[in-house]
Amino acid sequence: MSTDEYLSPGRFVDSDAPQIAAFAHDATASATNATDAALRLYRAVRDDILYDAYVDFFDPATFRASAVLASGRGFCVGKASVLAACARTVGIPARLGFADVRNHLTSPRLYDVMKTDVFHWHAYTELQLDGKWVKATPAFNATLCERVGLKPLEFDGRTDSLFHPFDRSGRRHMEYVFDRGSYADVPFDLICAEFSRHYPGLRRDRLAGGDFAAEAVAGSDQP
């Protein structure tokens, strides 16, 4: 099967953006092979771009790799787009995987807006390494994980890296409930339509001005 579409720029996985190329090449300057490059990119995207779920979910820039990189923060789809774009820049075939997940440790404010702990169209990145597609989830930066009692999610380039089912205290964390498959680029219109259907209270200004990290930490202290 041709990997051309997984190496080419997309509307959201815009691997041809100069800032994406610069970030990717800086992160992989000392890499010895493709797997080493992938690990370095994973850590750079995971930790240098802060996770923030208080974004405008109907703004294309929220999903576009170059815009997320420029802002220094983003939610799971945006960060997955950055990792995919960076991987393509250095010659690693990459695509986006999506799943519906139940986040047992969501912040109270986000739950109040969404009225559910099920997040539709959660995203991760799939990288082709040594002829095999492997999943990598760069969403939660290590500093946020440490603050809320989660073990930072690692990636070894050989096995799938998906969210832990429990936190360090044994509380339920993330449950994968439905696999939505893989895409070469972000299916923006489909995601927006699904968000509007599942989250009628989610409007562009409902989450503006919130501090997700602080609220997530406060929420993690609740029994």
pLDDT tens profile 55-111: 999 999 999 999 999 999 999 999 999 999 999 999 999 999 999 998 866 778 888
Domain count of the fold of the chain: 1
Residue 208 in domain: no
Residue 14 in domain: yes
Residue 221 in domain: no
CA 85/CA 19 separation, integer angstroms: 11
Per the structure, the complete domain to which residue 63 belongs is given by: 4-202
pLDDT for res 8: 98
Residue 46 in domain: yes
pLDDT for res 79: 98
Residue 140 in domain: yes
Model confidence pLDDT, tens digit, residues 177-194:
999 999 999 999 999 999
**pLDDT band for position 166 (50/70/90)?**
low
pLDDT(147) > 80? yes
How would you classify the pairing of strands 132-136 and 118-129?
Answer: antiparallel
**pLDDT band for position 223 (50/70/90)?**
very low
Residue 66 in domain: yes
Residue 217 in domain: no
CATH number of the domain at 99, please. Answer: 3.10.620.30
Residue 15 in domain: yes
